[in-house]
Structure formats: structure tokens, C-alpha cells
Structure 1
Amino acid sequence: MKTKTKTKIIVLDDDPTGSQTVHSCLLLTRWDVETLKIALTDDSSPLFFVLTNTRGFSREKAANVTREVCVNVKSALSSLAAAALNDDDDDTNKINININPILVSRSDSTLRGHYPVETDIIAEELGPFDAHFLIPAFFPFRITRNGTHYCVVVSKNKEEEEEEEKKLIPCHETEFAKDSVFGYSTAYLPDYVTEKTRGGITPDQVEHFRLNEVQGNCTDRLLSLKDNVCCIVDCEEQSDLDQFAKQLNEALVATPLRPKKFLFRSGASILTSLAMLPPQPIPAEHMGQYVKDRRPGVILVGSHVKKTTLQLNELLKVNNIVGLEVDVKRIQRKEESDAMLQELVARIKKIHDEGKHPVIYTSRTELTSFVTHKERLQFGEQVSNFLMEIVKNLPLTLGFLISKGGITSNDVLSNGLELKMSRVLGQILPGCSVIKCPRDHTRYPDMPVVIFPGNVGNEFGLVTTFQRLSSL
């Protein structure tokens, strides 16, 4: 009997958008040991995602969920290892698989999320690690240059409208840095780390891998890392991370007697480099073929960031689109909430029966009357629960569903559609994944669902996605 070591990238994703650069992998909305064992032994992809949704939780709940996932991952790995060790089959041609995990804490490319809470918990349960790498890059929208993380804003050249101008804005100068829960004051990553760790890690303790090292050779430096040191990585194009990932893999196998262990806190782009996947099976512009009989679909918009509102306004101008606004203020009062739910479900059915596409969107102004962050998060859960009741009452002849917003999309998959796991088909736009409901789903077998992050795409992103699925 032979033993083969297989690397498996395990991604704990704080919302369901981290798969926005990969395909063919599993997304888990449950993380019991048996489900994790299925994902660990899945041969269709070198990685899988556990959708923890912790960005929508309080710090305490995020820590508890992360720990629960890590404990179960450890148990699943131990169970698989024990099964291989205790296999009495003497077949010399049989190969037992030993799984070498790479842990990734995937979070927002605009630096929002529970850092360092989640990486600390992962290190406690699945470490020790030699280093944890902060790599929030998501190309072409977010890059890291000279240690500072930037949002890339593309605009039309005023003199030549056909051409585009790219402007780099430090992330701390954007709306994302003003987030009422995850706000921050600097996009210079060594200082960001110090701010988020409350001085636990000082700027001079952060290892900075500069672009010339990333593009060149830094394997020796990687081999010297120890004691879970925090590292930041300059990168401006996917090829930068491809080269860096190659060196990471070399470092991981360079010392077999004491292999290096690295943890990643990242955006989506490093996953592309680590996984090294071929092109997705069906190109983005042809994904309408996943829609059965060209049936009408539904677009659900929960995100309230400025970019989402611009995209929504353009979508509402399209023929056969009918907008339905959810007044979030009414959700706070149960009688009004119940009445609004009944009204919306009835209107959605009528619009669908007419062959049109309802767009359900929350009112565009974020409420700011909450005294504490906890109150704000609790109200967010209340709004999400209302939207999920809508999803649970959508027409059974639905052709597709577009979910706009990271936390909204996570709730759609785990609560609204009650998916235990699903598989990523690929991206319909850069950064926008399409998953498919399982064939045995009780309501929507094989229905495509678009996971559309709130801060991704230009103003026509929703329009293009809708047109590709509706074959217009």
C-alpha cells in the first residue's frame, strides 16, 4: 500500500464572495465533521470554502464560529488520517491519501473584517504557524504598492471618452474605511496591523515583502520565517502573486523533516495563484445556458454601498425589470413587517407570471440611529431574515437568482435556499461567481445563483449580469 500526500486549500470565508476568482470547488454552508470530510476528499478541486459569514457577526460570535470550524477541521483531518492508518487492505496498488492543509482566512479586499480575531483563533486551533500573510489584493480592483493598499477607480477620459483612466485611492480614503463596525484610519498595512492588534504587533515587527522580492526570489527569506510573524506582500498584478505562490510552495516542501506552515489572511487573488486552476468550463458570456427554458429570474439587492446603488439605478432602466423596494424601517415593527412580506410575495408572483423580472431591493439609506455596534448588527440580521423569508417564498418556476451583497448572498445560500453545499461554476463577471443548486434540491434543482459582491463591478455590472442570464 502506498501513501500519497495531497495539498488541500481550506478557506474560511467571512462572506461567500471569496470564490470570485476560482471555479469547480465546493462551497460549504455547514461545517460538521462529515461534511468537511466530503470536501477534504473531493477530487474536483484543490480547494474548498467554508462560508462562516462572520463579517456579519459580533466579534464574540465570529470568534466562536471560527473556533467551531477549526475544531471540526482538526477532527475531520484526524479521522481521515486514522482511517488510512487503520486500513487493513494489503493491496499494494492501493493509495491512501495524506492531506496537507493550507489554511486561508479569506476576507474583504477593502480591509473590513474581524482581524486579528479570526487568524488568532486559527493559529490557536490549527497551528503553530511560521507566519501569517496579510494579502488583501483583488485584481484589478485592489492592489498593494509599497505597503499601502489601494482601491483602483476607473473612469472615462474626459477628452477621449473611449479611453479609461485609472486612479489609485488609498483604501482609508474610501467609504469602506468609514464602516461603523470595521472602520480604520490607515491603508499602510504595517500601521493597519498595529491599529487592529491594538499595538500587539508594531510596524517594525511586520515583515514587508517588496515587489522586487515578490517578482524575484525570496524563498530563502520565506524559509527563515518563524513564530507566526505577520507579513505583508506588495502585488499589483496576478503574475506577481503567481510568482510569489510558486516560491511559497517551494518553501513548504524545502524542509520535509520540519515543513513550514503558513496562514493567509487574504483577498481572493492569492487563491487563484495557490490553486493554479485552468479556465472555467463555460465562458462568462454563455452562462445563460444554465437557465432552464429561459425562465424569468429574480434579483435581490441587499448591499447599500454607493456602487451597488449606481448599479441598481441602471438595472431599473432595463425593459422587463420591475423594482420592488423594501422599506427597512417597517421591518422593525412586526405587524408592518408581516404585512409588507405578504404584499411583496404577491407582487413578485404576479410579475413573474407576466414573464418579467422583479428586483427586490432594500431602501438605499443606511440607518444610523443605533447606539451600539451590537444593535446595528442585530438589526442587520433582522433585515436579512426578512429578505430570506422572501427567498423562501419565490416562485418555484424561477429561472435564476442574482444576489447582490456579500452577507446577503451568504444568507441566500445557507438560509433562503438551505444549501448544505454547492459547487462554483465560474464567474459571470470578474469577481462575480455563479453557483448551481444541487440536482436534488427540493425547490430549485440545478438553478444558477449569482453571488455578486456589493463593491464589485462598474455601474452596468448588474445590467450585464442580468442580460447574460436572461439571454437579452
Structure 2
Amino acid sequence: MSKKPKIIVLDDDPTGSQTVHSCLLLMRWDVDTLRTGLQDDSPIFFVLTNTRSLPPESAASVTKEVCHNLKLALKAEEINDFLIVSRSDSTLRGHYPIETDVIAAELGPFDAHFLVPAFFEAGRITRDSIHYLIIDSVPTPVHETEFARDSVFGYHYSYLPKYVEEKTQGRIKADAVERFLLADIRAGSLEKLMKLTGNQCAVVDGETQADLNRFAEDVLSAASLGKRFLFRSAASILTALAALPTQAIAAENMADYVRGGKPGAVIVGSHVKKTTQQLEKLLQADGTVGIEVNVQRLLDESNQSATLLTEILESTQAAHNAGKTPVVYTSRQELSFKDVKTRLDFGEKVSGLLMDIVRGLPSDIGFLISKGGITSNDVLSNGLALTTARLLGQILAGCSMVITPSDHPQFPNLPVVLFPGNVGDADALATVYQRLTKNTE
């Protein structure tokens, strides 16, 4: 087979790198930054677009801009052999088909686009084209979970062909979707892949990483024979496509990167039920101090955010001075809004405050944990104002750790954990904290 294609991931929040390691995450997508990704030795790199936090028109606009600049970067680097992945949520929330439509228009034509939502580290599997979340050891169809009731990205079907029909508003009919079932994948799919044309929509099963590894082998073989494919996927197919060796430093030894053995800081923006359970456990851990951000105060038209910011920064500094790790978390009550735009606008206001908190953290913190996908993206691109970061690997299944560049003006060589909202058991956040603080206790 010819040399492997470069895998370029447009990630709609920064947690899609949660099954790989040693690659670059790009927070900007100007041509020069994209060329940096293309030149890197790793077979895969991520462009963190954060489009899941945006309204549809903005998501389309950002995706178009990335693709336009990517075309220029690929031409400049004389790269013709590449795979594009639109990485999104394993619980089917996100701007589909908007993003894949834009990518196809800008970088196509493609022979097929594949929906591959399986994410094994977090208990998401696909069987007979039905996508499941494993909850308390029971496979539960995703349309029966809280994620399907998302006020922005809700849906009614776990059967992926019907999900496609719903999301494309009937443009792609369920019976027109090609299905790659477990039996097909395990027997070998190359012949079937070679027959796909015209940006055929296809959905892919996966119960174990071995299933997607086998599928990826056939995809790469088909690509080497001239087929052009686009992916809309969760993280597990990326592991298979990149085929990286074991990460260099074990998860339990990630404390080696903590700066000066000092206490760190935790920022919690995610609101899902799992995050709230994990937060409760973390706040019981020795050395943590909970600092609640009452976001309801931001609804007040008077300038509450400045007062709130001052109060929180004073509390975080006091915790740090006492040798403790401040855990800054948004208030847990669910607020209701008159429409989606108002909700997204308020989310931006909350995120703006959280990023002001990040910028105001003591510059000698030992580590930073960011909980929530959109929160993590904002921490990297706004709070820390990074252009690129090197992914060290996973500190816990599904939780990436990156390190800031050594020339960062405020937080050089700072280990930052990107912890998705809906990953891990109730103890997971406390486990990550304990791994990072094992040398400080």
C-alpha cells in the first residue's frame, strides 16, 4: 500500500483527540498554522473549530473558511493524499449535515461520507445501525437518553438511517443510506467500499475497537486505490485510522508534567448530569476548594460580571495561597430561555466570564483541568490564547492532556486536561485530580 494519507480532523469541540496522542491541536486555521499541522510528523492533526457552540450559519461559515485555507495549505505543501474527518459528538449532537455539506462542496467530490459515532472508551456502540449508550451495563438507544432531548441538537431516532433522514429533512431517505453492519466489517468491506460513488451516505457499526480497526484498514486500502472518503465520526475511528503506537507516558505518571509539584485549578462549565455527579465527588477530595459561579447574576442587566469576576479571583487566589486547588464551577440549576439564540448568547456570556477567570488564575499553578467540551475549547483558544498545543495523551480513557508551549507568556509548559462533559464514571474527575496531585500530597 502507498504511504498513509494525512488525517485532518475538523473538531467541533476540543475533545475529539481523546483516543490519540503526540499530535498537534490547532486553535487557529490561517494557512500558515494549517501548514504547521501538515508538516508535523504525526499522521493526524486536529483543527479545533468549536462549531458546536455556534448557530448553524456561523458553523457553516467557519467550516467554509477552514476548508478554503486548507486547500491553499495542501497546495503549498504539495499534499494530495489526505482524509478529512468532521469529528463530532458520540451522542449525535452537532451540526450535521451542515458541516459535511460544506466540506463536500469545498474539498470534494467525495465517493462517500460515513457516519461512525461509536466511541468505546465512553460506552457508545453501534449495532445493526442502531446507536447505543451503555448505561449501567445496559445498551440504551441514544434517542432514549438526555442527549436526544438537547434543546439545540435534539433528535428522535437511534437507527442511524432514520437519524440521517431526520437531520437532512428528507433530502437523504433512510432507505438510500448504505449500511456497514458488523458482519460486513468483520468479513472485509473493501469490495463494498470500492463501489461507493457520488458522496453516498453510509453508516458504520462498531462494537469493539477491533471492528473499526478492520474497517479502517479497508478504508485506507480503498483510498490508496483512488477512492475519496469523508467521515462524520466520534473519536474511536481516529484511533483506527491513525494507528499510533502506545502513548509514551502512562496515564498514572502524568503528574510528572505538573509544574513545581504545585496545586492546580479546575474550571467546570459542563452542565450534563454526569458532570454534576463528578463535581460532587471531586469536591469531597482532599485539597480542593469549591467556588461556585452563580450564572443567574449574569442575567441582571447591571454590570454584575465585573463584580462576580473580582469575587471569584479573590477566592481562587486565597485557595492557591493556602496550598489548595480551587474548583471553579458554574451553578447547576438549569435556566430556561425564550429561544435557541438567546440560550447560545447567554452561553457566550458565561464562557466569557470563565475565560476571564482563567486569565486571572495565579501564574504558578501546577496544572489546569477544564471540564466540558466547549469550555475546554474556549480555555485553549481564548483563556490561554494558544495557536497550537501538543497532545501528550490520555490521562484517563477519553480525557486528553495537552501542554502549553514553553514560550507562553503567562503559563509556560502548563499541563491542561481536556475533560468532556459526558465521559467517565462518577469518580472520573476525582481520579484525574488524584493522578495529577500524587507528587504533591
Give 1:359's match in structure 2, choosing from 327, 344, 348: 327
Amino acid at match of 1:362: T
Hey, what's the Cα distance between the residues in 2 that align with 1:312 and 1:57? 26
SS in 2 for 1:300: strand
Hey, what's the Cα distance between the residues in 1 that align with 2:268 and 2:361? 15
SS in 2 for 1:102: strand
Amino acid at match of 1:70: C
- 1:38 is matched with 36
Give 1:198's match in structure 2, choosing from 129, 148, 169: 169
Amino acid at match of 2:32: E
Hey, what's the Cα distance between the residues in 1 that align with 2:64 and 2:342? 24
Give 1:174's match in structure 2, choosing from 136, 141, 145: 145
Residue pair 1:142, 1:152 contacting (<8 A) in 2 also: yes
1:99, distance to aligned residue in structure 2 (A):
4.4
For residues 400-419 of structure 1, the aligned pairs below 5 Å read 400-419=367-386
1:6, distance to aligned residue in structure 2 (A):
5.5
Residue pair 1:5, 1:99 contacting (<8 A) in 2 also: no
- Deviation per residue, 1:43-64 (Å, 9 max, x gap): 1x10100000000000000000
For residues 55-70 of structure 1, the aligned pairs below 5 Å read 55-70=52-67
For residues 71-470 of structure 1, the aligned pairs below 5 Å read 71-81=68-78, 98-140=79-121, 141-154=123-136, 166-254=137-225, 259-333=226-300, 334-368=302-336, 370-470=337-437
Give 1:15's match in structure 2, choosing from 10, 13, 16: 13
Larger Rg: 1
Q: Provide runs of 4+ in structure 1 moved above 3 Å.
A: none
- Deviation per residue, 1:337-356 (Å, 9 max, x gap): 11111011011001101100
Amino acid at match of 2:106: E
Identity %: 58
Amino acid at match of 2:362: P
Residue pair 1:30, 1:421 contacting (<8 A) in 2 also: yes
- Deviation per residue, 1:433-463 (Å, 9 max, x gap): 0000001111111110000000000000010
1:78, distance to aligned residue in structure 2 (A):
1.3
SS in 1 for 2:303: helix
Give me the CA root mean square deviation: 1.0
Amino acid at match of 2:259: K
- Uncovered stretches (5+) of structure 2, i.e. residues with no partner: none
- 1:86 is matched with none
- Deviation per residue, 1:120-143 (Å, 9 max, x gap): 000000000000000011004100
Hey, what's the Cα distance between the residues in 1 that align with 2:333 and 2:98? 30
1:426, distance to aligned residue in structure 2 (A):
0.4
SS in 1 for 2:134: strand
For normalisation by structure 1, the TM-score amounts to 0.91
1:366, distance to aligned residue in structure 2 (A):
2.1
Hey, what's the Cα distance between the residues in 1 that align with 2:134 and 2:253? 28
- Deviation per residue, 1:268-323 (Å, 9 max, x gap): 00000000000111000110010022101001100000000000001111111110
Hey, what's the Cα distance between the residues in 1 that align with 2:431 and 2:80? 40
Hey, what's the Cα distance between the residues in 2 that align with 1:420 and 1:9? 19
Hey, what's the Cα distance between the residues in 2 that align with 1:402 and 1:470? 12
1:335, distance to aligned residue in structure 2 (A):
2.0
SS in 2 for 1:322: strand
SS in 1 for 2:406: coil
Residue pair 1:297, 1:399 contacting (<8 A) in 2 also: yes
Hey, what's the Cα distance between the residues in 1 that align with 2:24 and 2:98? 25
SS in 1 for 2:94: coil
Residue pair 1:8, 1:99 contacting (<8 A) in 2 also: no
